[in-house]
Amino acid sequence: MSEQRSGKSEIHVPKMLVMGVGSSGARAVAAMVALKPDLQAVAIDTDTKVLDALDMENTIHVGATITRGLSSGGDVELGRQSIEKDSSNIRKQLRKIDLLVMVAGLGGGTGSGAVPVITRIAREAGALVLTMVSMPFKFEGTKIRRTAEDTLARIRTHSDAIIQIQNERLVDRSDAELPVEQAYARSHQVMMDGIFSISRLLSRHGVVGLDFACIHTMLRNCDGFCHFASADGAGEGRAAAVVDALTTHRLLNKGRMLESAVGIVIGLTGGIDLKLAEVDEVLSRLQEKLPEDVWINFGVATDRSFEGRLSAIVLVAEAWKEPLVDSQRQRDLFNKNSHPAQGELLLETTGKGEFIHTDPTIHNNEDLDVPTYIRRDIKLPR
């Protein structure tokens, strides 16, 4: 006997929080909020001068008793201690959040010290964690580069996926006269494009659906790292312009990453004048660059503000991991009232208690302080 439905069922709308950490991350997020005031975002830093200069309300000052309102001075340990000391404020921000997007520049003290701690807290809170970080320019020196790479390994422990933005790829020899401020602004612009695109995908019902489930599948299975690129076209030939931009994009190693991709999410947004032929051109030409057995998902959305324009976003995975077991967590993220057919023991970490200020035990990029059944997503039957 079929079950009758009365009225509309309650749909859980995924909530995304953008969190900028350290001076670079905080400034990047403030620039995003200036362009998109309804973006749910927070900026975190030890330096009160940086936070006071931001034109946004939701900021968190950490480490007041450690750095006394100054920056961490490039000291990663001070950055870590500062965030651990004020971790309760971070936990409050993560209540009822489905997707946390971390934004930071690596190599400094606060960002490099705090981001690994925040990703751990977010994972304990049950949020999906996407970390978007910029890597230093070569001229910043070997020490800063090494700090960034070490931090990257620690972030991987608790992030579902990491998008690396290699600052060095954003400039070339023809940019020798480019002002330093504009060089760093390019990195912020890439972050902004990525976050706005992801936000669009989550907040709109498309002509062809691409939702949080697709993003979740991609991030949970991309084996740690994925790559992002976006492109825009306008007027006649906009579809061809978008494809050409993506297949030669610096952040996709001039298109070579498409050729070795194992998973890809493609999101298209256009005005109500968007034609089927244009969608077909973009998707067909991109698929010509992709391996035959690639996991692919795409979505198409229309927005009146995109009249005459076409925008595309791609998330590309170079390596793919199969889940050890079917993840009930994914279904729960979309339907908060769902109940599994077979009961499972819901065992979760509750924090490190009196050991909260100690360094995690890292081996092969895994935090051994987190129980094995949680690290490997193993379900324990009742």
List the binding residues for GTP. 109-111, 140
Contact 60, 75 (CB under 8 A): no
Helices 22-35, 110-124: crossing angle, 10 deg rounding: 70
Cα separation, 360 vs 375, whole angstroms: 14
Tokens of 137: 């320019």
Q: Within a 13 Å sphere around the CA of 44, how many CA atoms are in the beta-carbon half? A: 33
Contact 136, 169 (CB under 8 A): no
Residues in the chain: 382
Contact 271, 304 (CB under 8 A): yes
Q: Shortest CA distance to 252 belongs to which of 235, 272, 266, 239?
A: 266
* Residue indicated by tokens 């997007």: 101
Please report the DSSP string for 200-232 in residue order.
HHHHS--SB---HHHHHHHHHHSTEEEEEEEEE
Cα separation, 218 vs 277, whole angstroms: 27
